[in-house]
Amino acid sequence: MAQVLEIRWHGRGGQGAKTAAILLGEAAASVGKYIQAFPEYGPERMGAPVLAFNRISDEPVRVHCHVANPRIVVVLDPTLIGKNDVTSGVPEDGVYLVNTNLTPAEMRAKLKVKGGKVYTVDATQISIDTIGRAIPNTPMMGALIRATGLMTLEEFIADTRHKLEMKFRSKPEVIEGNIKAIERAYQEVQSE
Amino acid sequence: MSKRVAITGNEAVAQAMRQINPDVVAAYPITPQTEIVQIFSTFVADGDVDTEFVTVESEHSAMSATIGASAAGARAMTATSSQGLALMWEMLYIAAGLRLPIVAPVVNRALSAPINIHCDHSDTMGARDSGWIQLYSENAQEAYDNLIQAVRIAEHADVQLPVMVCMDGFIVSHGMENAELLDDDVVRSFIGQRTPKHSLLDVDRPATFGALDFADWYFEHRRQLAEAQTHVKGVVLDVAKEFAKVSGRSYDLFEAYRLDDAELAVVVLNSAAGTAKEVVDDLRDKGMKAGLLKIRLFRPFPHEEIVAALAGKKAIAVLDRADGLSTMGGPVFVDVRSAMYDAPGPKMVNYIYGLGGRDIDTEQIAGVYWDLARIAETGKVTSPVTYLGVRE
Amino acid sequence: MSANGKEKGWKDVPIGGLILEAGSSDKYETGDWRTYRPVWDQEKCRHCMICWIYCPDSSILVREGRMVGIDYKHCKGCGICAHECPAKCIDMRLETELEADRAEGAGAGASAGGACCAKSGGEAGGK
C-alpha cells in the first residue's frame, strides 16, 4: 500500500473539525499532494462529538473506507478526552495534538499513552485573542503544520489566505485574525 | 490547461453541469444530492450559465419538467437520490420511452425504510430496467468525466436515450478528493450543440410526442428501445476514445484491474472499487493471483465483454451494495452469473455489503479473496450469498 | 404498408412513438363507432354555434359563421350537440333505423346524408 498519512480530527459540532479537515486537504493539494478530506456524517447537532478525517499522500488515494488507524490525532476540544476514545486504533508511534493549556507531559498522563509524541497548544485562547471568538480550528492547523512538517508555514498560509479571502471578502479583520492565529499556534505549540 | 484541484464529488458534478451549460435544469433537493443543484443554482444566479432553472415541488415534477424540456429540444438535466429517484419512477420510463437524451447525476443513497441518508445502490439498481443508460463512478474524477461523456452518449443519433451517472452518497459526494477539471471551452466543444431531429418547438416540422400506442404499435416501439440499447456500448467506447484525446484519461465499459492473469476475481462498482484495488495490490504482493473487474456501464449490460474478461477464472465474487431480496443475491450478481452461464468454469458467489452506508474496509475485501481462494481449492461453495459486514 | 408492399415493422416507424405528421388524427375515421346519428334540421337551426362549442370531436362543420352540417366521418354519435342545442334542431336517431329507412328508399335521413361527405368543408371550425 502506498504511504498515506492518515489524520483523525476530534471535535464537537460547530467547532469546525470538518472545515479544518477540508482546509488542510486543500492546502496539501495546493502543494501537489493527493488528498482526501471527509467527516463522519451522523446526526448533525451543535456540541455533539464529531469526527473528520484526512488522507495525504504523494500518490493517488484510492481507498474509500473510514480511517481506522490514524497516525495523527487532533483533538479540538479537550473535554472529549475520557468521554471519547481518542486513542482508538492509533499505532504505538502515533502523534497527538491537543487543544489545551496543559503541558504535553500532563496531557500524556490524561491520554494514558506511552509511545509516540504528544503536542499541546492553547488554541482556544489564541483564537479568542486573535479572532475574538473561541474557534480553535484554524490555530490547530497551524500547530499541525509545525508538528507534522506536511508543508511550510508559508505554503499553508498562502493557500489558507486565498480561501479566507474568497469567503470573507468584506471582513478583512477576520482574514488577518485567522492568519495571526495560525502563526501564533505554529510558534506556541509545545512538544515533549 | 486542465488542473488538479481538491474537490468533492458534488462540487465536481456541479462544475461539469456549469460547463455543460444545459438549457433547462429542473430539480428538487434531496440529501446527499442537494449540494449539486444548490451549487448549480448559484451559477444560474451569477449568470455563469444560460440555464432556465425550474424549481419544482417534487422529483416527479422535476423529471416531468425535464422530459417536457427535452421533448421541446432543450438539453435538459436534473439530479436526485434515493426516495427522489423512486418518486420519479413512472417518469423515468417515459423519458426512456420517448427517447429523450436527458442526463442526470444520481447520488446513490439507501431507500427507506428504515430511513437512512447514507450510501447504497438500492435506488439506481431499482431503476436498472427503466431503459436508462447507467454509468457508475468510482470517485469524483469519474463522476465528472462520466457526466460530460454522458451528454454525447445520450444525444448520439444511434442512441437517443437518457443517462444516469451514479456516484456514492457522502463517500464520494461529500468527501474531498483530487480531480482534474477540463477547461470550459474544451468541455463545450467536446459536447457541442444538441441538434434534435424532432422537437415540440420545431413548428416547421411538427411532431406529436406521447401519442397513444396500443397493441398495434407499442411492441414495435419497445423493440426499437431494445435495439437502441445494443448500440450503446459502441457509442460509449467511441465517446471514451474522443474524451481521452481531450482529457488524457481513458475509459472503457469496465475497468479490468490486474485481471488478465488473475485466478480469483471480484466484481464491484463505484467507490468500493478503489478500496478493492489496494487489496488486490496487497494480495498480489503476497503471491495471490487476485484481480478486479469494476463495472462502469451497467445498463445496458456489456455481457459479452464481461464474460470474455471473466472466463477461465477459478472463482468470482460479485459485491452488491443492494439486495435483490429475491433470495438469490443482489442485482449485479444475478446479471453476472446469468451472463456466465454459457462460459462454464468459475465458481461464483455473492456478497451483499455496505447497506445504508455501512463501511467496507480493506480487511473485509481481503477476506472475500481468501474465501475465493478456499472455493477455488476445494471446488465447493458453502454460502452462495453472504451478508458482508452485518452484525450476526 | 411499406413501399415494398410488406407490412411495416419496427424498423420502419419513427422512434419513441413520435407522429411526424400534423393533424394525422383526421385520417382516423371514428364515424363508424356511432350507434346514434345526430340528424340536423336546417330549418330550425339558429346558427348559435352552441353545438360547435360543445362537440368534443370537432365534428360540427362551419362555413362563414354558419353551421353547414355534421362531419359523419369523425362524429362518434355522443349526442352532446343534441342535448345542448337550444333550438332542439338536432335529433339523435338510431343508425340501424336510418339504414332500414334508407333500404326502403324513403330518404328519411336525406339531410344528414347530404352532409355525410361534407369533409370538403376544410375550413370547418374547431380544428
B206 inside domain: no
Give the distance, in angstroms, between the CA of residue C111 and the centroid of all CA atoms in the same chain. 14
B127 inside domain: yes
The domain boundary residue, chosen from B223, B243, B263: B243
Shortest Cα–Cα distance, B358 to chain A (Å): 10
**Measured in Å, how far apart are chain C's first and last C-alpha atoms?**
28
- The tens digit of pLDDT for each residue in C34-54 reads 999 999 999 999 999 999 999
Q: Which of residues 19-48 of C touch B (CB under 8 A)?
A: 19-20, 22, 24
Write the ipTM.
0.90
Q: Is the pLDDT of residue B316 over 50?
A: yes
Paired residues of B293 in beta bridges: B256, B267
pLDDT for position A94: 96
Q: How confident is the model at residue C1 (pLDDT cuts 50, 70, 90)?
A: low
What is the Cβ-side half-sphere exposure of residue B97, based on CA atoms within 13 angstroms? 19
Q: Is the pLDDT of residue B338 over 50?
A: yes
Total domains in the fold of chain C = 1
Cell of C71: 362531419
Cell of B87: 418518486
Which residues in A lie closer than 8 A to residue B361 (C-beta atoms)? 65-66, 68
Q: Is the pLDDT of residue C125 over 80?
A: no
Structural domain range at position B292? 254-388
B201 inside domain: no
Mean local confidence (pLDDT), C83-97: 95
- The tens digit of pLDDT for each residue in B47-65 reads 999 999 999 999 999 999 9
CB-count burial class (<10 Å; 0-12, 13-18, 19+) for B303: middle
Q: Which of C15, C19, C24 sits opposite B224 (nearest CB)?
A: C15
Question: Which long-range contacts link A168-176 to residues 24+ away (Cβ below 8 Å)?
Answer: A174/A131
pLDDT for position C107: 45
Q: Is the pLDDT of residue C56 over 90?
A: yes
Which residues in B lie closer than 8 A to residue C14 (C-beta atoms)? 198, 207
Q: Which of A29, A41, A64 sits opposite B178 (nearest CB)?
A: A29
B72 inside domain: yes
pLDDT for position A43: 67
What number of H helices and E strands is found in chain A? Answer: 6, 6
CA gap B295, B316 in Å, rounded: 14
Which residues in C lie closer than 8 A to residue B218 (C-beta atoms)? 17
Q: Which of A1, A34, A37 sits opposite B282 (nearest CB)?
A: A1
**Contact residues for A72 (Cβ-Cβ < 8 A; gap 6+):** A5, A6, A7, A8, A94, A95, A96, A97, A144, A147, A148
pLDDT for position B164: 98
Q: How confident is the model at residue B343 (pLDDT cuts 50, 70, 90)?
A: confident
What is the per-residue burial (b if ≥16 Cβ within 10 Å, else e) of B80-97?
A: bbbbbbbbbeebbbbbbb
Which residues in A lie closer than 8 A to residue B274 (C-beta atoms)? 62-64
Q: In this structure, what CATH number is given to the domain that contains residue A120? A: 3.40.920.10
B268 inside domain: yes
Report the amino acid identity of residue B313: K
Cell of C44: 330550425
Query: Shortest CA distance to B147 belongs to which of B113, B111, B91, B190?
Result: B190
Q: Which of B117, B172, B176 sits opposite A25 (nearest CB)?
A: B176
Total domains in the fold of chain A = 1
CA gap A145, A140 in Å, rounded: 9
User: Do residues B135 and B165 make contact, with C-beta atoms less than 8 angstroms apart?
Assistant: yes
Total domains in the fold of chain B = 2
Helix-strand-coil split of chain B, %, nearest 5: 40, 20, 40
Q: What are phi and psi of B136, to 5 degrees?
A: -110, 150
**Contact residues for A37 (Cβ-Cβ < 8 A; gap 6+):** A21, A22, A24, A25, A26, A52, A53, A54, B6, B175, B176
User: Do residues B332 and B272 make contact, with C-beta atoms less than 8 angstroms apart?
Assistant: no
Specify whether B27 is located in the same domain as B135. Answer: yes
Query: Shortest CA distance to B100 belongs to which of B67, B133, B127?
Result: B67
- The tens digit of pLDDT for each residue in B361-372 reads 999 999 999 999
Structural domain range at position C108? 29-112
Relative to beta strand B24-27, strand B52-55 is parallel
B249 inside domain: no
Shortest Cα–Cα distance, B209 to chain C (Å): 5
CA gap B38, B113 in Å, rounded: 26
Q: Is A26 on the interface with B (CB under 8 A)?
A: yes
Q: Is the pLDDT of residue B83 over 60?
A: yes
Cβ–Cβ gap B5/A60 under 8 Å: no
Q: Which of B205, B221, B227 sits opposite C16 (nearest CB)?
A: B221
Cβ–Cβ gap C19/B211 under 8 Å: yes
Cβ–Cβ gap A22/B174 under 8 Å: no
Report the amino acid identity of residue B228: A
CA distances from C35 to B102, C59, C93 (A): 46, 16, 8
Residue B360's SS3 state is coil
Q: Is the pLDDT of residue C124 over 80?
A: no
Mean local confidence (pLDDT), C68-86: 96
Residue B167's SS3 state is strand
Which residues in B lie closer than 8 A to residue A60 (C-beta atoms)? 178
Segments in chain A below pLDDT 70: 1-2, 43-44
Q: In this structure, what CATH number is given to the domain that contains residue B315? A: 3.40.50.920
Relative to beta strand B133-136, strand B297-299 is antiparallel
Query: Shortest CA distance to B295 belongs to which of B253, B351, B331, B264?
Result: B253
Cβ–Cβ gap B198/C20 under 8 Å: yes
Specify whether B140 is located in the same domain as B261. Answer: no
Q: In this structure, what CATH number is given to the domain that contains residue C89? A: 3.30.70.20
- pTM for the complete prediction? 0.90
Q: Is the pLDDT of residue C77 over 50?
A: yes
Specify whether B258 is located in the same domain as B232. Answer: no
Structural domain range at position A48? 4-191
CA distances from A31 to A28, A59, B224 (A): 5, 13, 52
B200 inside domain: no
pLDDT for position C123: 37
Q: In this structure, what CATH number is given to the domain that contains residue B56? A: 3.40.50.970
Average pLDDT score, chain B: 97
pLDDT for position A44: 67
CA gap C31, C73 in Å, rounded: 4
If one counts every other C-beta atom within 10 angstroms of the C-beta of residue C34, the result is: 18
B207 inside domain: no
Report the amino acid identity of residue B163: V
Mean local confidence (pLDDT), C16-29: 90
Q: Is the pLDDT of residue C119 over 70?
A: no
pLDDT for position C3: 58
Specify whether B177 is located in the same domain as B292. Answer: no
Specify whether B291 is located in the same domain as B222. Answer: no
Residue B382's SS3 state is coil
Edge-to-edge strands, sheet with B76-77: B52-55, B24-27, B76-77, B103-108, B163-168, B133-136, B297-299
Which residues in A lie closer than 8 A to residue B12 (C-beta atoms)? none
Specify whether B162 is located in the same domain as B302. Answer: no
pLDDT for position C106: 52
The DSSP-derived string for A62-73 is ---S---S-SEE
Paired residues of B315 in beta bridges: B264, B347
CA gap B379, B368 in Å, rounded: 16
Q: Which of residues 45-84 of B touch C (CB under 8 A)?
A: none
pLDDT for position A170: 87
